[in-house]
Amino acid sequence: MTTTVLVANRGEIALRVMRTLRRMGLGAVAVHTDADADAPHVGAADLAVRVPSYLDANALVAAAAETGAALVHPGYGFLSENAAFARACADAGLVFIGPPPAAIDAMGDKIRAKEKVSAAGVPVLGGFTEEPGAPLSDDALLERAAATGYPLLIKPSAGGGGKGMRAVHSPRELPAAAAAARREALASFGDSTLLVERLVLRPRHIEVQVLADAHGNVVHLGERECSLQRRHQKVVEEAPSPLLTDGQRAAMGEAAVAAARSCGYVGAGTVEFIAEAGDGGGLAFSFLEMNTRLQVEHPVTEEVVAVRGERGLDLVGLQVRVALGEPLPFGQDDVSWSGHAVEARIYAEDADRGFLPSGGPVLALAEPSGEGVRVDSGIAAGSEVTSAFDPMLAKVVVWEPDRAAALRRADDALAGYLLLGCVTNTAFLRRLLRHPRVASGDLSTDLIETAPPEAAPEGVPDEVYAAAALDHMLDLEPPEPTADRFAVPDGWRAGGPAWTPWRLRAPGGGAVPVRVRRDGSGFSVAVGAADPAAARARRDGDRLTVSYGGRTRTYLRAADPATAHRWLGADGTAWTLHEEPVGAALRGDEAAADGTVRSPMPGTVLAVPVAVGDAVTAGQALAVVEAMKMEHSVTSPVDGTVATVAVRPGTPVPMDAVLVVVEPTGPPDTPGGPSAHATSEENQR
Return the domain boundaries, the chain: 4-97, 126-198, 203-338, 343-435, 462-583, 588-684
CATH of domain 4-97: 3.40.50.20
Rounded distance between C-alpha atoms, residue 627 and residue 622, angstroms: 17
Domain spanning 126-198, CATH class: alpha beta
Rounded distance between C-alpha atoms, residue 120 and residue 137, angstroms: 31
- Segment (H or E) for 34: none
Q: What is the pLDDT of residue 97?
A: 98
Q: What is the pLDDT of residue 63?
A: 98
CATH of domain 462-583: 3.30.700.40
CA atoms within 13 A on the CB side of 274: 19
Nearest-Å Rg of the Cα atoms of the chain is 28
Q: How many CB atoms lie within 10 A of CB 638?
A: 22
How are beta strands 71-73 and 4-7 bridged, if at all? Answer: parallel
Q: Give how far Cα 275 sits from Cα of 230, 232, 256, 443, 464, Å.
A: 18, 16, 14, 11, 45
DSSP secondary structure string, 92-125?
TTPEESS--HHHHHHHHSHHHHHHHHHHTT--B-
Residue 625, beta-bridge partner list? 605, 632
Rounded distance between C-alpha atoms, residue 211 and residue 318, angstroms: 9
Q: How far is CA 73 from the centre of its chain?
A: 22
Rounded distance between C-alpha atoms, residue 193 and residue 177, angstroms: 14
- Segment (H or E) for 21: helix 11-23
Domain at 343-435, CATH from 3.40.50.1000, 3.40.50.720, 3.90.1150.10, 3.30.470.20:
3.30.470.20
Mention every residue, 6+ apart, whose C-beta is less than 8 A from residue 187: none
Domain at 203-338, CATH from 2.40.10.120, 1.25.40.80, 3.30.470.20, 3.40.190.10:
3.30.470.20
Q: Give how far Cα 73 sits from Cα of 98, 290, 292, 657, Å.
A: 8, 19, 13, 40
Name the region of 347 (left: φ>0; alpha: ψ -120 to 50; beta: rest): beta
CA nearest to 48, candidates 58, 34, 57: 34
Domains 203-338 and 343-435 share a fold: yes
Rounded distance between C-alpha atoms, residue 546 and residue 465, angstroms: 11
CA 87-89-91 angle, to 5 degrees, is 70
DSSP state of 293: S
Contact yes or no for 493/542 (Cβ under 8 A) = no
Helix (H, G, I), strand (E, B) or coil at 380: coil
Q: What is the pLDDT of residue 580?
A: 85
- Assign a CATH topology to domain 588-684: OB fold (Dihydrolipoamide Acetyltransferase, E2P) (2.40.50)
**Segments of the chain with pLDDT less than 50:** 1, 483, 584-592, 668-685
Rounded distance between C-alpha atoms, residue 96 and residue 323, angstroms: 7
Q: How many CB atoms lie within 10 A of CB 334?
A: 14
Contact yes or no for 390/10 (Cβ under 8 A) = no
- Helix residue spans in 123-276 (DSSP H): 138-148, 174-189, 246-262
Rounded distance between C-alpha atoms, residue 484 and residue 481, angstroms: 9
Residue 555, beta-bridge partner list? 544
Beta strands in 401-508 (DSSP E): 418-420, 500-505
Q: What is the pLDDT of residue 592?
A: 42
Contact yes or no for 222/210 (Cβ under 8 A) = no
Reported for 499-504, long-range contacts at CB under 8 A and 24+ positions apart, including other chains, are: 499/526, 500/473, 500/476, 501/582, 502/468, 502/469, 502/472, 502/579, 502/582, 503/579, 503/580, 503/581, 503/582, 503/584, 503/585, 504/465, 504/468, 504/469, 504/566, 504/577, 504/578, 504/579, 504/580
Rounded distance between C-alpha atoms, residue 201 and residue 213, angstroms: 37
